[in-house]
Each structure stands twice: as C-alpha cells, then as structure tokens.
Amino acid sequence: MRISKYNNYIISNIYKKSGVFEMISIESFPNLQTFKFVIDVGNVVYHIRNKKGKPMLSNYFKLYRYLLNELYIESSNIIAISDPSIRYCIDEKSRFKELLIKREIIQAPKKADFYILALALRNKFVLIISNDRFKEFVQELPSIKWLTLKLVKFLIIYEDVLLSPDITYQEVLFMTNLSNILKSRSYRKLPIVALDVN
C-alpha cells in the first residue's frame, strides 16, 4: 500500500513486532479543530534539505496545506514561528521574506523554541509540531509528560505528511472539557517560569 493512502490519518502507535501502523482517522478526533497548532518552522524546513544542503521552504508548505486540507484546521489556528537565522539559509529567500512580511510566519527575536514553549505554557489547547525534544528547556517545563502531550512529531515523504501525536482520543476529550481541566491536578494553573514570555 502506498504512503498516500494514509494521507487522512494520524499515526498513533507503531507496533514493532508486526510492523503495522495502527492508524487513527481524523474522524475519531472530532475535537482536534479546537486546538491551535504551533509549527516549529526551523525544525520543519530542515526536515528535508535540497541538493545544496539548504533547508526547504516547500516542507513548510506541505505541512501547512496538510493541516488546512486534511485536518480541517483553520488558518487562524495555525501559528508558525521561525528562528531569525532561517531567513539567511532557506532555499527560497524572497518567498520566505514575503511570508514574514504578511506575518504568515512569525520571526522570533532569538531562538524560536523559547517562544514556542512559552505559547504552549500559556495556552492549554496548543499542540507543537516539531521533531525537536527541547532538551535544554526540560527543567523549566511542568513535566516531561506535559511536553509529551504537547508535541506532535511529523514525517514528510515526498508529498505526504504524517503526524504522530503521543496523545490518545481520551486525552483530547479530557483536554477539551474545561471543567475537567480545572478540576485536574495535572492541568492546574501553572506557575510563571522563565519561559513565560510577557
């Protein structure tokens, strides 16, 4: 079966023994559209490089279109944050500059990871699309479990995008039920930390 047949699915688990992907269709995640998705642009554009070793802006467009067209996420719920250095090394500099001017991609004043995590700390319904482990920030975050629930890993194969969140349907339901969030100890109001940007 070709990868493109998995286009409308999110990978939830990979079973090593059987070698079979257990897929969850987007229909089984009906509350997913209530989340904001923060794209770690630097991580995405470096996922596949061109022949000259430059990060590719097309990776970002593939992921962005996937969120819009396959997961039906509104563009207002997609936030793309980039490191300032990306504009100097990206393969399509002028097109990238246009995205910055239109504010379709937001350029962080320093390393984007700091702002991506700060946004996730301030908002309960934010998922981060990145293959980064954010190791240098783990001590400042509420817990590794918190980071695991927020991270959505991705894979781009030709024109196909696959997303693999470490989150179950029950956790999505739980996170979207505000009264449960307020009652839960694991989702209590977080203290202000160094990552909490003003």
Tens digits of per-residue pLDDT, 46-68?
Answer: 999 999 999 999 999 999 999 99
Token pair in block for residue 88: 């100097």
Residue 4 lies in a domain: no
Of residues 10 and 150, the one with the higher pLDDT is 150
Residue 179 lies in a domain: yes
Residue 77 lies in a domain: yes
Question: Band of the pLDDT at 165, cuts 50, 70, 90?
Answer: low
Residue 69 lies in a domain: yes
Residue 9 lies in a domain: no
Angle at 63 between CA 14 and CA 80, to 5 degrees: 120
Virtual torsion, Cα 115, 133, 143, 153, nearest 10 deg: 90
H helix or E strand, kind and range, residue 192: none
